[in-house]
Structure 1
Amino acid sequence: MSNALYSRDILKQYFQILVPLLGLLLLIATTHYYTHEELTDTDHKADAVLSVDLARETITAELNNVVSDLIFLSNINELRAVLANPSSPYLKNLERELLIFSRIKKRYDQIRYIAQDGQEIVRINYHNGEAVKVAKTTLMNKANDDFFKQALAIKPEQIHLSSLDRNVKQEAIETPHKPVIRFATPLINAQGQKRGILVFNILGNSLLPNFTPQATTNTDRIHLLNQEGYWLRSPYSDAPGLKFDRKRSFAISYPLAWQQISANLSGSFENSAGLFSYSTIYPVWPTAKPSKEIQSWKIVSLAPMALIKEYTISSLFFNNILFGAFALLIIIWSFVTAKIRVSHKKIKAQNEYEQRFRKTLESIQLAAISLDDKGKVQFCNNYLLKKIGFKHEDVINKEWIDNFIEEAEKEKMKEILANAMAGSLCSIHETKIKTRGGDTRLFSWNNTLSYDANDRVCGLTCIGEDITEQHHREEQLRILSRAVEQSPAPVILTNTDGVIEYVNSKFTELTGYTAAEAIGNNPSILKSGETNSEEYRDLWETIDSGKEWHGLFHNRRKNGELYWEYTTISPIRNPDGEITHFLAIKEDITEKRRLENEVKQRNRELAQAQALAVVGRMSSMIAHDLRNPLSSIKMGLQIFGKRVDKQHEQSWNEEAKELRQIALEQVRYMENILADLLQFSRPDALNSEWLSINKLLDLTVSTTEKNIKEHKAKVTTDYQAKLPMVYGDATKLRQVFSNLILNALQATENIERKPEIRIKTSMELLNSKMKVKVEFSDNGLGLDSEQADILFEPFYTTKAKGTGLGLAIVKRILDQHYGEISLASSPNGGACVVVILPTGPFH
């Protein structure tokens, strides 16, 4: 509204003052413009004429100096002596004088004495500050040179001038290009005969540049032209400077102007191309009078029409600036007057606004405070006063930061205030305020800037909320959160539907699932399938009823590994007592269970070892006590049988023979039992060597050939070639293989099909180690799965006859070799025994 009032009030006065003053100013500016244009045109013409005159005087003086030097040298005694007598002594004197002259003048590119026959007699070159005499062998003949002919043809004391052209050296243009002007005069001996010419070569850039610096302010418009209208010197960087290879000239570029310039000696005129001022000079004046035959140069000052228009635009621009300056003064005066009036109105409106704003701040249930740019309190509402326990007079006009902000936060608050005054507002901040009782209260503030009537920042208004209790609760929550996150136990938080909402880092460490992978899924991602549905139903019924559940899970990690965990699941309730989440705290007890199982296994093995030790001692005692009587019985039966056979061969009937044979077989059976008991009770030490398993198996099969034939069995072998050698006891390993073959033969008894035994060897990589595998398969009745685990226990047997020590001895021998043995049913029927032996020495 203030801006609208300002616009209406100021525009009326602005136009009342501006219209008449603008008309007067426009009249004055127009008059000044046309007057200035007329004076400027006159000044341009006068300046151009002056520039041409000064250039003519400068170049004339330069040319006269050259002519004077040439006349002077043509009359020196040394030259006169050479003209009279061109002998060597006089010639050397001339060369010396010319060298001295060249060094002193430093402007002549060449000084030459050419005889009347065109042969160069002396040539002095001046280059890079050094005057040098040219060797006689390099001197040239100029008899056919037009310049030589013309110079020799003129009268004595006259000067012949060449065009500005490139220098020719040994009938070739000298490079780099050196545009030169040649001055020459005939040389006359005492008898008045022409004996040659004296020539000065002057570089164009050495002679001509000196005529422009004296030409007032128009040096960038002066042109020097020869009588044909070609440039000798031009302010244009791209104008041709020589008479060779040119496709344009001043005469071609300005044909109408050149007609007038070439027809007159001097003058000024203006056409569509621009303003031309010109004058004529004669380079060899006064040695020859002006005529059509005498070479002349033109000095021309050209002010292009574009430049004249530029002066016109410049003059108009000056008038516009003058007019704009007066208009600007009027605008500024009007603006200042309007601003004063508007400021008074804005100050009044600002005060009214502040009164209303403070009344609003008193009525809200939030803390409010206003600070000036120095940090002093200008306003504080009653809500804040009640919170901190101070009275109104204790706060107003006091330093807020020094008196009420906690010591540790003063610097931060000072920085916030300083940045706000600089225009960089921190919109939200928290500070601790000291109360009258010495305590501190934490407030969260929302900041806004305060402005004066001129819209300048003058203070800071803060509206805040006491968050002391909220901060305390949040801090407790953060501590709890850190405790859960840093807990050594895996923690899962799910909603009531079992969807995971949080897992800590230990969960990831235990299961391999990251938080991003677990959140949003169900804990069933850990299922291994070993926990039945009944247990899960009991779990949900327990926690849904608000109780705590404890139990074991055999779960599966992300990488597929199984592990055991002990889990406690507790419901979490909101303030209304409703269950909102479930908290599961887990403990990895895999290692614990492994150790427990290992202890149990060790205890069983220890008890079994102790029992076997007792059995072994008893077996040793029994075997020792029974072996001698059995040996006597066996010996008696054998002697008895031999004697009876000899004496009563006819009368010894078949029944008596059969009884004797049965008695011997029973004795042998008892001896085998005693041998097994002794071997089991006192295992022998190994006598190891490097063995070929394939050969050892063949030897074992041959030793059991009798038993194989008795059972009418078929034995097939499938050996892997180039098996690694095995380090072991040949006798004991042959006993192992023999027992397994005999067991396989006994397993095929009483079957309707022909007994078959298959022996296979192969090489396998187990636990990063190369091992040899031997398989014994039969086509018998097979094994009961429950028997496979106890068949290796001592004294356990499924046969009518036997001690149950065969497989126990086999296992003990393989244990001594750090080997393994396992029993299983074959997929095609029958049983399969697998023996695995290491390939390297065992320790």
Structure 2
Amino acid sequence: MNAREQTTSVSLSVFAGRLLIIVLIFGLALLMQLRGDAGYSERELLSLWALVVAGFSLTVIYGLLAAYAGGLGLPLVELAGDGLLISGLVYCTGGARSLFGFLYLIWIVHAAIRSGARAAIVTSASATLVFGLMVFGTAEGWLPVFDSSGVASPAELLRAMGTHTLAFVAVAMLAHRFAREVEVGQDELYELGEIHQRIVDNVSSGLLTVSQAQRITSFNREAERITGYSSKDVIGWPLGDLFPDLAASETLGAGAGPVREVAEDAGDGGLARGQIRFCNREQEELCLGFSLSTLSDEEGQPEGSVLIFQDLTRVLQLEEELRRSERLSAVGQLAAGLAHEIRNPLASLSGAIELLASDLPEVDPNSRRLMRIVQRETGRLDRLVSSFLSYAGPGPVQREQVVLNELLEELGQLLESGECPAARVYLELSPELCVFGNPDQLRQVFWNLVLNAVEAGGADNEIRVRGAHVAAEEADGSPMVEVEISDQGEGIPAEILERVFEPFFTTKPKGTGLGLATVHRVVEAHGGQLLLKSRSGEGTSVRVRLPAAPL
């Protein structure tokens, strides 16, 4: 609760107490009005009614200011108004003989509570001064006397002044001490709260707490970063609104109270662990690992739950990339061995057919047609073997500075003028996209990706190639250059999305299944990342991230 909210809350709570006192004064005035034979003058009664009206008016004004103005600056206004009201009441009800002098004591205590120890001293001095002026002013005759019984005797005035002054000072001292202790306690609580908040905000995991009603009650800074929501957005939300999969998880039970069920049923002190899928505010799908435990009060009774979670998306991606690399490495070694074993007899076969064709010029047309078929198929097989070797061992990367702007613009021109004249390729490149790498291998990477994008779309397909710099904090600690190639094709079905980089996997009738596998190997050899995003019917986006070269 901030200072504005705290001031508003205190002002509203004081409203009820002040209203009660005004009602008592109202009752007194009404009683005096009804007992017309008690000797009260008309001026006394009118003064009391005026004070009742003023008291009600001030109370309503305070309440409106507290509710609609936030209560800022209100304590000083209240103290001044209350002091004037109390002084008027004491003056109109007999001054030194008034039964309402005790209200000054309440005023002093109220000042200490609302505005601190210094305010108690100031209000005590003010009460003494005003009461003294009231007493001696009526005694000296320069203030009119409202009391129908006349002016009190000098001894009575001195006794009233002395007792009231001692009471004011004593209460002020006690209120001052109490206010100082409260201030010290509040400072300590504030410091503890700040330390607690800093600890929670610096935890490297997302952390939130929920009440027994399954509503979020706190949300730390890492939770804000992972989910994309600020704490102001989600405080008060049902947990299921933020984590639908968590609420529906069988691990957590079904129904309206999944958190409670896990806290009661799980072992290890009410601790449960698991993984869930989650879409953040930017609609990016993440995999979160979580642990859920019971939040207990000082008596050990459960009052909610604590949920700690981490974004495991990148970790799982790295694990999958490692498994894929191991599989591809094994397949690559096998492919390389087979390719070498096939290539030698294939070269002999191709050479023998060429010799036969040249030595037998008079061969019949049917035999010549068969020879051409053999030559064509041996050529196709040789190209396939070359693809095997290219995939199995792209060779050592001879690094040099490569300006991707020039390379990508050249590919776009080749597509439009030669390979795919109908292709519509749009380049959106930031200036000076420089990387370290082998220009021939990188050209092969982007050529394969752009060709796949062209072949994936129909007549209205647009290929967009975007290039941009990626800051170090967004790219695992080192600056990168990202090239995104996206199309408007049919997309890749979810069931085969994880297999597109596997060797020999293809959906094309005449494909070898080595194009994207080779792309993946080359990008990995350059220390880069290959990120694929596709949904059936919505097109495909491939992002290639490569280490940036210093400019």
Give the TM-score category using the shorter length.
0.3 to 0.5
> With CA pairs under 8 Å and 6+ residues apart, which has the higher RCO, 1 or 2?
2
Q: Name the one with the larger helix percent.
A: 2
Question: TM-score, normalised on structure 1?
Answer: 0.33
Point out the structure with max Rg over C-alpha: 1
Q: Name the one with the larger strand percent.
A: 1
Question: TM-score, normalised on structure 2?
Answer: 0.47
